[in-house]
Structure 1
């Protein structure tokens, strides 16, 4: 119980991940949620309580009775060798080149087998590069997850051939969160984390274009969303605007006015800084993601586009 470090070998490469099992869990967990770190030096350390907003998935897991899994990306080819994910960007020249879709697919299958769960109880969420990898996994292996959630991660302007270009094999419920003041994953699209001016991490389309692509995938382009505005914390850059596109395969979109790149949180607070901007503190990304996932669980009345094994 608690947080344990584990490994598995995929395509001859040893891969690491951390598993958080609630201490009070007895029997089958309600679900498994894979939580993907962003590109950078933190890697799986985003699971450390209080260190990163993504760690909040652990406290939510304790309360709700699901297992949180934190996979680790491999070092990229940049000077710092940061842990990152090889997602759908064809023009990311510092990517590790690893088969991260294959790794995550194998990890999902291991968790399904270990806990005896159907795919309808498997979910994935990520921030920044982890959000991009979540998109990539959804495009490549939509058959293995019931829903996904992303924070500050857009689709590529120059996607790889295959599913990254053509789209997923089936529609998928998705929650998307993005700040209008994000310069690392530019709200209006452009170079990703272009700190050195080389644009060597590739280009993405805008946050709104990313939303629109998923609306098309999920057959929601003619849907008028309902809007909810949350502005509980007046010390951040602006309110959180929630747009719900209901349907058989829903999309929930959060526009965080003025917010930068940092994952939104009410409990793990990150000070404003020139690189990542101002954190939105009106919502807790982990809580919003789990609420979205929980509504998709079997027995809640949610429907899916195709049978899940």
Structure 2
């Protein structure tokens, strides 16, 4: 889906005037950050105050509106605010090209901080209950926030993504513990579980950067959380024909919860979702044994209710 141009965002900013539009109603929020027009979709009930906030970051293909339609998030109907920010061209998630240059120079960390500041100043959200989630490149930007802005968030969800090569993420000791949920497929050709070039040698023609191994990413945050191992549970194989099996790893002895869903045979896909029309040949198998959205919402509501 085509993303709005900067000119379109600037027009929206002019239409909304200088004062921020009411954030307690669902709609499009437009703001200026770092001299650039930035936008997000907000789902929130009228009159909402002091609510937990989930920020959902879209991937490299599609947009905030595309992900919002597909993800099936129900938290706004349960008293949450859910924000769907829009990247400019690409998230500045720490990926670098072959020349060592970042794919995006946008101040996305600052933009997301400013978005939280705006909603908190309006009384819509509780600063102590801000959570962030994203799939694919949105997951990489989520990891950057967990690395560089752990003070802003109370938990993070990373799906089909790993730490980009080039992103310096503080490890233990010294880095704060942070509740984390990871989800990945072992047959992901776009964000290869063993690390390497995004898309491998065949999916993308142009350079999209490189990622580390998902095992190393999870291990870094397990160490930050002080975990001492994990227990693994096989989820019921509700669809034997989906070409995959799902397992849940619950980490033990952690200062903050850490859960890792591993989908053996799963691709760069969202478990429980309708398969993309581009097909399994490109993105891989979609697991049907559980709903990723339901699992994530259960994790987040448990944190928000503590």
Q: Same fold (TM over 0.5)?
A: yes
Is the Cα contact below 8 Å between 1:224 and 1:245 reproduced in 2? yes
Is the Cα contact below 8 Å between 1:29 and 1:65 reproduced in 2? no
Matches of 1:226 and 1:5 in 2, distance apart? 41
Deviation at 1:60, TM superposition (A): 3.8
Verify: 1:89 aligned to 2:95, yes or no.
yes
Match of 1:181 among 177, 187, 190: 187
Alpha carbons of structure 1 residues 184 and 47: separation in structure 2 relative to 1, 3 Å:
closer
Verify: 1:20 aligned to 2:43, yes or no.
yes
Verify: 1:4 aligned to 2:8, yes or no.
no
Matches of 2:287 and 2:245 in 1, distance apart? 8
Matches of 1:262 and 1:173 in 2, distance apart? 23
Matches of 1:131 and 1:120 in 2, distance apart? 21
Match of 1:282 among 289, 298, 302: 289
- Higher mean Cα deviation, 178-187 or 272-281? 272-281
Verify: 1:61 aligned to 2:76, yes or no.
yes
Is the Cα contact below 8 Å between 1:190 and 1:203 reproduced in 2? yes
Deviation at 1:87, TM superposition (A): 0.4
Matches of 1:244 and 1:261 in 2, distance apart? 22
Alpha carbons of structure 1 residues 216 and 91: separation in structure 2 relative to 1, 3 Å:
farther
Matches of 2:44 and 2:125 in 1, distance apart? 15
Describe the SS at the equivalent of 1:121. strand
Deviation at 1:29, TM superposition (A): 5.7
Alpha carbons of structure 1 residues 239 and 2: separation in structure 2 relative to 1, 3 Å:
farther
RMSD of aligned Cα (Å): 2.3
Verify: 1:32 aligned to 2:53, yes or no.
yes
Other-structure match for 1:156 = 164
Deviation at 1:203, TM superposition (A): 1.2
Deviation at 1:294, TM superposition (A): 1.4
Deviation at 1:211, TM superposition (A): 1.1
Describe the SS at the equivalent of 1:270. coil
Who wins on radius of gyration, i.e. which is larger? Answer: 2
Match of 2:111 among 103, 106, 112: 103
Deviation at 1:282, TM superposition (A): 2.0
Matches of 1:116 and 1:26 in 2, distance apart? 8
Other-structure match for 1:170 = 176
Is the Cα contact below 8 Å between 2:120 and 2:126 reproduced in 1? yes
Using structure 2 for the length normalisation, give the TM-score: 0.82
Using structure 1 for the length normalisation, give the TM-score: 0.81
Matches of 1:91 and 1:14 in 2, distance apart? 25
Describe the SS at the equivalent of 1:254. strand
Matches of 1:196 and 1:282 in 2, distance apart? 26
Describe the SS at the equivalent of 2:64. helix
Other-structure match for 1:81 = none
Is the Cα contact below 8 Å between 2:92 and 2:102 reproduced in 1? no
Where do 5+ consecutive residues of structure 1 fail to align? Answer: 76-83, 301-309
Is the Cα contact below 8 Å between 2:57 and 2:86 reproduced in 1? yes
Is the Cα contact below 8 Å between 1:29 and 1:67 reproduced in 2? no
* Number of equivalences: 276
Is the Cα contact below 8 Å between 1:192 and 1:199 reproduced in 2? no
Is the Cα contact below 8 Å between 2:186 and 2:265 reproduced in 1? yes
- CA distances 1:96-119 after superposition (whole Å, capped 9, x unpaired): 221111111111222222235433
- Higher mean Cα deviation, 241-250 or 188-197? 188-197
- CA distances 1:62-104 after superposition (whole Å, capped 9, x unpaired): 1x221111000012xxxxxxxx211022347572221111111
Match of 1:200 among 192, 207, 216: 207
Matches of 1:95 and 1:242 in 2, distance apart? 33
